[in-house]
Amino acid sequence: MQEQINGMTTGGCLKLKAGEYKGPVNINKPVTIEGSNTTIWAGSSPVIDVTKEGVVLKNLQVEATRGSNDIAIRSEDSYGVLVENVEVRGRVTGFGAESGVWDFPDSLNFGQLPHSRAIILKMRLSLPVSCKIISHIAGIIIEPELVGPGTVEVLIKINPLFQNSILCGSFLLVSKFIRRIPVNAIVTGSAFVSNGQLIWSPSGACLPEGAPEPVAEYYQNTGVNTNDPAVDKKLTPSDKNYGLVQETGSIPVLKKGQRIELSQFNPGDKKIFVGIGWDNRLAAPIEIDAVAFILGGNKKIIRDEDLIFYGNRSSSDGSISLLGQGKGLQEKISIDLSRLPQQYERIVIALAIYEGKKKQQYFNQLERVYIKVSDESGKPMFYFEVKDFALMENSLIIAEIYRYKGKWKLAAVGAGYRDDLKALCEMYGVEIM
């Protein structure tokens, strides 16, 4: 993409097709960059660096994939960059008050909501400028719609919902830029939230005496520091027991849909370990199998041995192996990308409940599923967890490791399916006898 920008003439317009484009990029001439369902991303900061006046950005999503503290777009106030329908994940600089501190949830999981009756929840945000909050979920409105600047409280009004339905969508914070808050919940007979409950508040915000604690947990993508006693209180009860966060240092926490370049944490594509764990809501044990599909460029296996599971625990070249239980982990996978033959482009890491349909066991009976990715020395690199399960899901693709323009990336997927392991095998070309 940088080469395309370098080749533009002053005043020109680069129209990008739908898809994703890797940055970072520097715009050093007065031009227009116009997208159409287009994402520009980078693991380094800033994703877009504007160093000239007269630049126009239109219809783009700009993602700083390493976390919300990295810079998505950098400019100077005097450059007067014109922005139209641009969504950012990350900070912006050089846009006046818009460049201030935004404190809002990375995502919201309401957990279980009651059915057949309305419910009102509360959320607090800290905003540097005035903005409009828009709900993109049918049956949910936010009041007031216009808020800020400063610390504000809004009401999330949820209309009566059908039992066993799934709530999934986004809230948008719209100012000069657009910022997105993914939202999800399931509707059951038992509610884990109460009417009028505060579900999220910025750290350090003053709350009324006796106000309930937020129920939607939120970790900054820049890392969780376990040396901070205040952060320890926010960790899920078993995090330290499961070894998900070291006693010293910090570990970046990925959110669903985030992509991260592995070489930033693991230069030279050395061996990594993917630890997998889960917490059960119920007393009855749930038998879950971890599997890895090693795929070619067509997203299919090349041979049946490319399915790594309990009956074939290691690839023939030794690049991928199931190692069994680890410290506080139900499964541990060893992946040596340097040994993986060139014809392989993708590794899908998935879980499946053994005889789930027969036993009427599903992933929403789990509190969470999580992975901890560590380097060859065992040092944690990052962590990802899934809590927002839909009903009657028997299999889960938790992450994908894939080659993009010669570099390995990891995508935090967290996608559940009602089908079992057999259906996943068929999707990836494994012949089941």
Q: What is the β-pairing status of strands 48-50 and 71-74?
A: parallel
> Which of 394, 375, 276, 279 has its CA nearest to residue 326?
276
- In a domain? residue 215: no
Residues 327 and 255 in one domain: yes
Residues 90 and 146 in one domain: no
Q: pLDDT at position 106, please?
A: 78
- In a domain? residue 264: yes
How many Cα atoms within 13 Å fall on the side-chain side of residue 62?
31
Cα separation, 43 vs 67, whole angstroms: 9
Residues 75 and 183 in one domain: no
Residues 195 and 231 in one domain: no
Q: Are 90 and 47 in contact (CB under 8 A)?
A: yes
The CATH number for 245's domain is 2.60.60.30
Cα separation, 18 vs 358, whole angstroms: 42
Residues 165 and 274 in one domain: no
For the chain (433 residues), the mean pLDDT of every run of 10, in chain order, is 92 92 93 92 89 95 78 89 94 93 83 82 93 92 93 92 78 95 76 74 49 31 29 30 33 80 79 90 83 91 91 91 80 91 93 87 85 88 80 83 88 81 85 71
Could you read off the pLDDT of 326-361 as tens digits, one per residue? 666 788 999 999 899 999 999 999 999 998 888 888
Domain boundary among 38, 72, 95: 95
Q: pLDDT at position 258, please?
A: 80
| Type and span of the H or E element at 87 | strand 82-89
The CA distances from residue 261 to 32, 43, 404, in Å, are 28, 7, 9
- In a domain? residue 413: yes
- Could you give the number of structural domains in the chain? 3
Residues 171 and 67 in one domain: no
3 state SS of 272: strand
Residues 308 and 417 in one domain: yes
Residues 73 and 124 in one domain: no
Could you read off the pLDDT of 143-180 as tens digits, one per residue? 999 998 999 999 999 988 887 777 778 899 999 999 99
- In a domain? residue 432: no
Q: pLDDT at position 68, please?
A: 65
pTM of the model: 0.53
Residues 188 and 315 in one domain: no
> Which of 293, 272, 414, 413 has its CA nearest to residue 345?
293
The CATH number for 168's domain is 2.60.40.10
Domain boundary among 53, 69, 95: 95
Q: Are 179 and 172 in contact (CB under 8 A)?
A: yes
- In a domain? residue 212: no
Domain housing 145: 108-200
Domain boundary among 68, 95, 122: 95
Residues 16 and 55 in one domain: yes
Length of the chain equals 433
| Type and span of the H or E element at 359 | helix 356-359
- Tokens 């630049």 label which residue? 55
- In a domain? residue 40: yes
Residues 131 and 276 in one domain: no
- In a domain? residue 46: yes
- In a domain? residue 158: yes
Residues 193 and 150 in one domain: yes
Bridge partners (DSSP) of residue 113 are: 187
